Structure 1
Amino acid sequence: MGQLNKAYTVSQVNSYIGNMFATDFALSGITIKGEISNLKYHTSGHIYFTLKDTASQISGVMFVRDRAGLQFKLEDGMSVLCTGNVGVYERGGSYQIYAKSFTADGVGDLYIRFEQLKKELSGMGMFDPMYKKPIPKYASKIGVVTAKTGAAVRDIVQIAKRRNPYVDITLYPALVQGDGAVQSIIRGIKTLDLMNLDVIIVGRGGGSIEDLWAFNEQAVAQAIFDADTPIISAVGHETDTTIADYVADLRAPTPSAGAELAVFDYTKFTDDLAGYKATLESVLYEHIQDTRQKLAMYKLRINQLNPKYILNEYHKKEILYHNELKRRIQDRLTIEKEKLRKYDVLREYMSDRLYAVKNRLRDYERMPSLMKQSLDKAHHRLLLNTERLEAVSPVRKLSGGYGFVQDEKGHKLDSVKKIKKGDLITTTLKDGTLRSRIEDINSGG
């Protein structure tokens, strides 16, 4: 730079340092690994950021002319590999990296783009269930957007025909990967959407995320969302998920499953129809029987209101009343005859009772003489019994010098064995009693 005592301007120094950076091969096309911070998308289209690690940081910028190569949206905290040139910003006297491209550190670029588009479309409401159109239960006209050859179209056609041999399938042979696939899929959706079909299946067989990427493009998602015909997304295998799956009206895990969801089982349909027919016939039969019963009832009511029927009924009632009156008169006559018979029997009974009473009156008239005879007989018997009693009377015996002996307790003494020496005895005579004490007893008579 010449003599040391020569003074340089700031611009000269910064220009010199800038030339040093520009000619340094190591700083040209360098890739720096770091975490994005202080991210700012400027209204001019430039992107300003800082790359940092745990110990240091470097400023950076990506000009709008270089953003075409950016496949995903940068976010603060994202770990990236930034490729570009390190140079000097002479106006500010600082160095920075001028980014040409970014790749995700540890995560594929396509995955980042997938997550970012998924988040963006979800925010727009394209995944909202309120926009999902119902899949017709009995679809007969099916549209298919897929490759014209391969397992996907073969499985869809075979399963659809097996479930319903009468289904009408319209195939739009589209590119499903590579250049032109996005526009081909979009044309297929729009073409079939104009054909007044019942449902459209959009899909392909399995593959890598790169192979399936056409179904992750926003343009394809928008075409599915804008279609008036219900769309089933059937992309890849069961574990594969694309943006088309989220925006479609129904997701099928595989193309085969898409055919099963779109086409109804004709055999089951006919079986159901047979069941419905049997049920309908049963209901109709019951309804007819019920109606017949009601008609018969109405006919009976009409006949009952017929004047001829009414007169006939009155005539029947007249006959019944006549017969009933005749029966009642006959019964009454029978009852009265029975009463008269009973009166005759009662009269005869009363006559007999009167005769008996007369006989009793005659007996009552003879009663005084009969009573006198009875009293005389009783007096005679009394005299006889009196004489008999006097003959056996103890008093009479006592009058003859006999006495009645009792011990102290009043018991009769009829044997010397019932008394002992010193006992008191009582002797009853005809005119009184004697109390004695036994001094001596002689037995043996």
Structure 2
Amino acid sequence: MSVTEAVSRANGAVSGLGSMVVLGEVSGFRGPNARSGHCYFTLKDDQSSMSVIVWRGIYQACGFTLKDGMSLLMTGSFDVYGASGKLSFKAASLRLQGEGLLRQRVAELARRLEREGLMDPARKRPIPPFCTRVAVVTSLSGSVIDDVKRTLARRNPLVEILASNCSVQGDQAPATIVRALRRAAAARPDVILLVRGGGSFEDLMCFNDETLARAVASCPVPVVTGIGHEPDTSICDMVADRRQSTPSTAAESVAPPLDELVSVIHERERRMRVTLERWSRDVGARLDATDRLMRKDVRASLDARAAAVSALATRRCLASPLASLEGREESLSMTEERLHATLPRVLTRRRQDLEGRALRLRSLSGRLLRPFDAQVVRAASSLEALSPLKVLSRGYAIVRDARGRVVGGADQLLVGDEVSLRLGRGSATAVVRKLSQT
């Protein structure tokens, strides 16, 4: 029998085993391969191990990242590779078991809270540099509270410690921690320490609770966590305002040593003294400069005003007010003399001019009105001929009744009516005694 036949017969025998479910721990993980994307590792228990191949598609569909130490529940079948005769288990599906499953759930919760922004550094609050009131949320029955107290007392005995008891392990622990956080926040400390000693991943699972994580993120007081040891990182560590690896380092981070505080105070005092001295020198220099400028400005202003006063003093009206009046008086006298000498001549010329103009007007008026005299005479003759008074002068009269209307015929009158007569010269009143139509 050839090697090929032997390997083929072995592969047939192995294939006859069919699909099976295997539980084991991942070891020697290699992958995904840069070219193919397949993963290779050994699955082992306390007594045995086997080589495992996970194709790229199977690994991408599992939803988690494989690493050494994970507990896996795999479904698949054995296969003998013809080229080397090596027996391998080809996985068809992967599921986490035990701690691996818990880690997968924690990772999913962490990704969801990160998408909501609870782990955003910009959301986290700064821790006061000098805390005087520190609340500690932990189990009072363990040694952690004593370690924290010793650390705080050693570094700064002036820090006031407020302890809030809670359970730090088990299914009921998250609810008790949430209540302890609320009690601690109600006391209004400068910071809250959420601490617990080391333990297994399962022991620390209560600090991966979603409700507790949201309570830590929404706490009105900054929260510093110190949970487990250096490699341990919980959801509460991720959403807290500051994460420390252990309870002791958490206490140290919020309580600087007393000698360090004294050094800081002395250094700040020195810097304040230097700053005040520099400020005093600067202010003194500015005051001196301002004084020089003010003196210069005042001197220049006074000099300008003195020059203005001197210029005013040289004016004749101010230097000798009577001289100005005397000059005006002399000028007025000369003007009066000129007027007395000039007015008679001016008046004589004006009178002669007016007399000449009057003479010319008289001579011109006769010549201008002469052509119109004949027209006026003719118009007057025509008016006199047409005047009713001319007719009345020949013996006629105008008769008016009592209403003042002109009577044109006898039919307008009655016997006894009083009428008025307009004669050529004067007027008369008469009473009708008799009427005749002819």
**Fold shared, TM-score > 0.5 on shorter chain:** no
Under a length normalisation based on structure 1, what TM-score does the superposition of the two structures give?
Answer: 0.44
Bigger Rg, which one: 1
TM-score w.r.t. the length of structure 2 is 0.44
